[in-house]
Chain A
Amino acid sequence: MNIYDFTGLTQSIHESLSNSLSPTMVTVVEFTIVALIFMTFFTFLGLVLVYAERKVAAFFQLRLGPMRVGFWGTAQTIADAVKLVMKEPLVTKNADKFLFNLAPFIVIISTIMALGAMPFAKGLHALDFDIGILYVAAVSSLGVIGILIAGWSSDNKYSLIGAMRSGAQLVSYELSVGLSLLTIVVLAGSLQFSEIIASQEAGWWIFRGHIPAFIAFVIFMIAGTAETNRGPFDLAEAESELTAGFHTEYSGLKFSFFFLAEFVNMFIIAGIGATVFFGGWMPFHIGDWSGFNRVMDFIPGIFWFFGKVTFIIFMMMWFKWTFPRLRIDQVLTLEWKYLLPINLVNLLLMAFIVLMGWHF
């Protein structure tokens, strides 16, 4: 058993609230607490990930990155955030003002909704639907509507081209993300995040699922990077082609919403990857080595989760700072002619393996 279980904590908070408040009020108060925690976490994640990205990029590029503000530049992102908040929110003259102002919120809402389904540790889980994976896939694909609206309403041809590319790309790669996750769902036999994690007690699916699980992970990484609109799939922004793509005309806080959403989306993709392929908060166990397993159990689940997420995020940053950008037709070719057929065959293969009981 995992000794770092948050179920007791959340249960006791719920009970103490129930004792003093009516059931409706309990729900309202609990919703507020969770919402506040997630808002804070969202901002915190943004700040940390931006700093991490700048440092990782700097080390790939033989430089030091931010060093001046705070110890090793740790306060740099806070300074940047303050600067962004104080900037003038510009709107282009012929922009569709309502849609222009709406777009960043759609993007950020979809991100927060997906973040809500992340299983951080045992019992530390805001939404645990029995269709968890389906839910995350659904809400995270809402973000593309925000991007399309942003590109359309900006009254800028560069933005429009960026939004058009982004629409084509995200809709395509949604398929690959879904199918590669389904491959593991077939193994785990559930769509619920907590069940998927529980099924990996004896070992993570990436190790136990034979080669199909590994193929699914590689496809998931490629498609996940494309989903977050990051390099080498950052065609929607494509700085050297479209100046900044769909958010060319945005400034100040609204720009920072797009910016934050990109980084938190990266966290979400990494979180899903860690949960489905690497067992989420489940410690690393090797078969019957009970001594080893016991030691691993002493590391809290939340550290396991964030450690795995950090690993995947680092890989995504590695991609971005190494590879050149693909062209739009190559992006679509890669998805429809390679990833999708491989994925379908892989899914069948996995189903066959599960049917024959060949997995570990």
Chain B
Amino acid sequence: MTLNKPLEDQEYFINMGPQHPSTHGVLRLLLKLEGEIIRKVEPHLGYIHRSIEKMCEKDTYIQIVHLTDRMDYLSSHINNEGVCLAVEQGLEVEIPERVKVIRTIISELTRLSSHQLWWGVMGMDLGAITSFLYGFRDREMINDIFEETCGARLTMNYNVPGGLMFDIHPNFQQRTKDFIKHFKTKLPEYDQLLSNNIIFQQRTKGVGVLTREDAISFGATGPVGRASGFSNDIRKKYPYSAYPQVTFNEALDDVGDCFARYSVRIKEMWESLSILEQLIDNIPAGEFKAKTKAVIKLPKGDFYQRVETARGEFGVYIISDGLKNPYRLKFRSPGFSNLSVIDKISRGAKIADLVAILSTLDLVIPDIDR
């Protein structure tokens, strides 16, 4: 275990991870420190690499959808949707409106549940353990909705190329409305507990500032990029599914510090709630799945589809040579690009700041390693 350069006087290095409470998984950061001040951060990846992209080359398109759950497990539905949209693009099938709306609703619920978990963990990383359980209380309601409609709470596998695996549960609309009503009263509590807390603000304001230029050049997307003023919401720029028919604001901030990333996510939760409200009563009647062949074969060519997960831009690039499985498949995961900014923004910060930065980058390690 060596660093590229020999250590200078008063410097030492420390391994943060692969087993560390605040790396949320098996991320290993090699820190070069001077006292408590960080001089360099070197992420080491590969502890949970499962060669998902290689596995995809052997699988049929329907099987690939299920594998994508295991990448960003907190946005599993949105990952599935990305693959399905790419395949549907190749198949050139007409997707029923009902499917589009249901997909969008579940995507937004997924985004909310991911942000709730992030919010809870963010508080916990900064030492306010109570927020963790508050976040989980509200997330539980979404998980119950998923369990009833999709049959699973985390890795839902609800999408298949051409539509949905089955129709929504009769309780789905009512439970979602109950959740919206409940969460509208609870979201202000999030502000009371953390956002307005002076210690929390001091811990996050001015910490880990990412400039707009850096955000663009590192490819930081999602709330991380948007907090730096880089408008990159795929739902706005390249609308898919039912996003063209809803009105919502892209949550933007221009400060780029941890607090900006925090407040962008809080704003996104409000926007997601508003999207849900617009769609939940307007699910059109119709088929829940377009007719597709039992064995899906894509025509020769390459297909790219991007979707906005809770963490940023998720891209699926399929190169097909006309068989039932892809010739080559590449995922563009948002976490990987977002992680790459860490050295840039945490130099000169303290160890405690690094924890706040890691937390606001909202990393899911299986998404980075794939």
Contact = CB atoms under 8 A, between A and B. Distances in A.
Contact of A240 (B36, B126, B133, B350): B126
A62 B137 contact: yes
B188 interface: no
Contact of B123 (A158, A161, A324): A324
B130 A240 contact: no
Contacts of B193: 322
A241 B352 contact: yes
Interface in B80-133: 123-130, 132-133
B263 interface: no
A322 B130 contact: yes
Interface string A43-68: 00000000000000100111100000
Nearest to A58: B133
B78 to A, nearest CB: 28
A235 B132 CA distance: 19
B351 interface: yes
Contact of B350 (A57, A234, A329): A329
Nearest to B31: A157
B103 to A, nearest CB: 32
B194 interface: yes
A177 interface: no
A158 B14 contact: yes
A62 B124 CA distance: 15
A209 interface: no
Given A239-B21, A323-B128, A327-B203, A161 B351 contact: yes
Interface in A231-262: 231-232, 234-235, 238-243
Interface in A300-354: 321-330
Contacts of A62: 133-134, 137
A125 B137 CA distance: 47
A231 to B, nearest CB: 6
A60 B130 CA distance: 7
Given A157-B14, A240-B21, A243-B21, A325 B127 contact: yes
B79 to A, nearest CB: 28
A161 B130 contact: no
Given A158-B14, A239-B21, A61 B129 contact: yes
Interface in A181-218: none
Interface residues of A, number: 29
B67 to A, nearest CB: 31
Contact of A232 (B20, B125, B127, B355): B127
Contacts of B124: 240
A324 B200 contact: yes
B12 to A, nearest CB: 7
B10 to A, nearest CB: 13
Given A158-B14, A232-B199, A243-B21, A324 B127 contact: yes
Contact of A321 (B20, B22, B130, B194): B130
Contacts of B257: none
A212 to B, nearest CB: 24
A327 B350 contact: yes
Interface string B331-355: 0000000000000000000111101
A60 B129 CA distance: 10
Contacts of B20: 243
For A62, A323, A327, A328, which residue has the most chain B Cβ atoms within 10 angstroms? A327
Nearest to B353: A327
A61 B127 contact: no
Contacts of B125: 240
A326 B127 CA distance: 8
Contacts of A238: 127, 352
B134 A241 contact: no
A310 to B, nearest CB: 21
A279 B260 CA distance: 47
B203 A240 contact: no
For A232, A235, A322, A323, which residue has the most chain B Cβ atoms within 10 angstroms? A323
A61 B353 contact: no
Contacts of B202: 326-327, 330
A241 B130 contact: no
A5 B199 CA distance: 45
A324 B353 contact: no
B194 A324 contact: yes
A63 B133 contact: yes
Given A234-B127, A324-B127, A327-B350, A241 B355 contact: yes
Contacts of A321: 129-130
Nearest to B202: A330
A329 B200 CA distance: 14
Contacts of B22: 240-241
For B193, B194, B197, B199, which residue has the most chain A Cβ atoms within 10 angstroms? B199
19 contacts: A57-B130, A60-B130, A61-B129, A61-B134, A62-B134, A158-B14, A161-B36, A234-B127, A235-B352, A238-B127, A241-B351, A241-B355, A243-B20, A323-B127, A324-B203, A325-B127, A325-B128, A325-B203, A328-B36
Interface of B: 12, 14, 20-22, 36, 123-130, 132-134, 137, 193-194, 197, 199-200, 202-203, 350-353, 355
Given A327-B350, A328-B350, 20 more contacts: A57-B129, A60-B130, A61-B130, A61-B132, A62-B133, A62-B134, A157-B12, A231-B127, A240-B126, A241-B355, A242-B351, A322-B193, A323-B127, A324-B197, A324-B200, A325-B203, A325-B352, A326-B202, A328-B36, A329-B350
- The 5 tightest CB contacts between A and B, nearest first, are A325-B127, A324-B126, A61-B133, A324-B128, A240-B22
